[in-house]
Amino acid sequence: MRHGVPAGGAMDAFALQAANRLVGNPPDAAAIEITAGGAIFDALAPLIVAIAGADLAPRLDDYLAPLWVSFVMRPGARLVFAGRRRDWGARAYLALAGGVDVPAVLGSRSTDLAAGFGGLAGRALRAGDVISASRVAAPDRVAGHVWREDMRPAYRSWPALRVLPGPHVDHFTPESIAALYSAPWRVGQQSNRIGYRLDGPKLVQAHSATLPSLGVVMGALQVPTDGRPILLMADAQTTGGYPIAGVVIRADLPLAAQLLPGDQLRFSLVGEDEAVAAWRRYHDWLAHGLVQVDADDADLALGWAGALD
């Protein structure tokens, strides 16, 4: 960000880290973010993989693939993400044991689609791309691991995102700030990894003022002159001049990441103590969510879905 480049990376950082840990990778290893579905992957060699995040109806050949579990794909197996199967979910993360083999740019292996660098040739994946792992992992060490359901964010439809007051609360009328936390909001059609334009009540500024540009972060609720808030996301610019009414706490950003245009959400105002406590729980989940299975369970995962043999 100090170079003016968006932070980028996974929209749902929790799901990325969990998927990586399930297959024995460092939490920041490169993986594949799949939005809304429609992706198809064919295994050219034995692979240990895990899928975390949204349920995009993944099928491994003729079977539903497990979520939040590491499993083996045999050569010739096909993994298909058909699309959202529940009433929530936007993004799934496919981790390969060994991590996706792409070079680091500015300290990251993520893709900056707007600038056209990073990741695989600076672009989204397309048909015919071959994706390789950086190294080969031992199947008996990571296949069959599970991520505990009670140690994941509270993914759901219509989430209530907790918000800290922004630096420009006093720029808005009291009625507008009250509406921010009482009204339902809908993710607008003009939304992407840069930010979500939110449909709902217009937030009115109490007085017009010219603001100097300031640094912005993922989770900031910027309000342009039209009064429609923009929830900044992973590919947001590094600076902005619109007033910021609030900032979604970091522990709730995975919930925001799982929204698609048309989905609804609410905001709730919290204090710093609650935000810090939520962040500590988030890290506790990452530290203790992985369940190490015994050898018999690992054998089941290695032979997962009998048709693979």
How far is it, in rounded angstroms, from Cα 230 to Cα 56? 26
Indicate whether 297 and 246 sit together in one domain: no
Per-residue model confidence (pLDDT) at position 122: 94
Indicate whether 32 and 131 sit together in one domain: yes
DSSP annotation of 290 reads E
Closest C-alpha to 180, from 209, 223, 224: 223
Closest C-alpha to 308, from 41, 68, 75, 40: 75
Q: What is the dihedral of CA 300, 303, 306, 308, to 10 degrees?
A: 150
Write the CA distances from 116 to 20, 211, 230, integer angstroms.
25, 31, 24
Cβ atoms of 232 and 217 closer than 8 Å = yes
Establish if 112 belongs to a structural domain: yes
Indicate whether 138 and 22 sit together in one domain: yes
Establish if 153 belongs to a structural domain: no
Indicate whether 118 and 179 sit together in one domain: no
Establish if 5 belongs to a structural domain: no
Indicate whether 124 and 137 sit together in one domain: yes
Establish if 203 belongs to a structural domain: yes
Per-residue model confidence (pLDDT) at position 294: 59
Establish if 8 belongs to a structural domain: no
Both tokens assigned to 273: 């103590």
Which long-range contacts link 271-280 to residues 24+ away (Cβ below 8 Å)? 271/164, 272/164, 274/162, 274/249, 275/162, 275/164, 275/249, 275/250, 275/251, 278/162, 278/249, 278/251, 278/252, 279/249, 279/250, 279/251
- For residue 165, list its beta bridge partners: 246
Whichever domain contains 220, its CATH number is 2.40.100.10
Question: Cβ neighbours of residue 210 under 8 Å, at least 6 residues apart?
Answer: none
Half-sphere exposure of 263 (CA within 13 A, CB side): 23
Per-residue model confidence (pLDDT) at position 137: 55
Per-residue model confidence (pLDDT) at position 140: 54
Residue in this structure with the two tokens 């009291």, named with its chain if needed: 174
Per-residue pLDDT of the chain (309 residues; tens, 9 = 90+): 989 999 999 999 999 999 999 999 999 999 999 999 999 999 999 999 999 999 999 999 999 999 999 999 999 999 999 999 999 999 999 999 999 999 999 999 999 999 999 999 999 999 999 999 987 655 556 788 999 999 999 999 999 999 999 999 999 999 999 999 999 999 999 999 999 999 999 999 997 777 899 999 999 999 999 999 999 999 999 999 999 999 999 999 999 999 999 999 999 999 999 999 999 999 999 999 999 875 455 444 444 443 333
First CA to last CA across the chain, in angstroms? 48
Cβ atoms of 31 and 19 closer than 8 Å = yes
Indicate whether 195 and 134 sit together in one domain: no
DSSP annotation of 198 reads E
- Structurally, how many domains does the chain consist of? 2
> What DSSP line would sit under 16-68, residue for residue?
HHHHHHHTT--TT---EEEESS--EEE-SS-EEEEEEES---EEETTEEPPSS
How far is it, in rounded angstroms, from Cα 107 to Cα 112? 13
Per-residue model confidence (pLDDT) at position 12: 98
Tell me whether residue 188 is exposed, middle or buried, using C-beta atoms within 10 angstroms of its C-beta: 0 to 12, 13 to 18, 19 or more.
middle
Per-residue model confidence (pLDDT) at position 6: 94
The H-or-E segment that residue 278 falls in is helix 272-288
> What DSSP line would sit under 122-137, residue for residue?
TS---TT----BSSPP
Indicate whether 21 and 120 sit together in one domain: yes
User: What is the residue range of 222's domain?
Assistant: 160-285
Establish if 69 belongs to a structural domain: yes
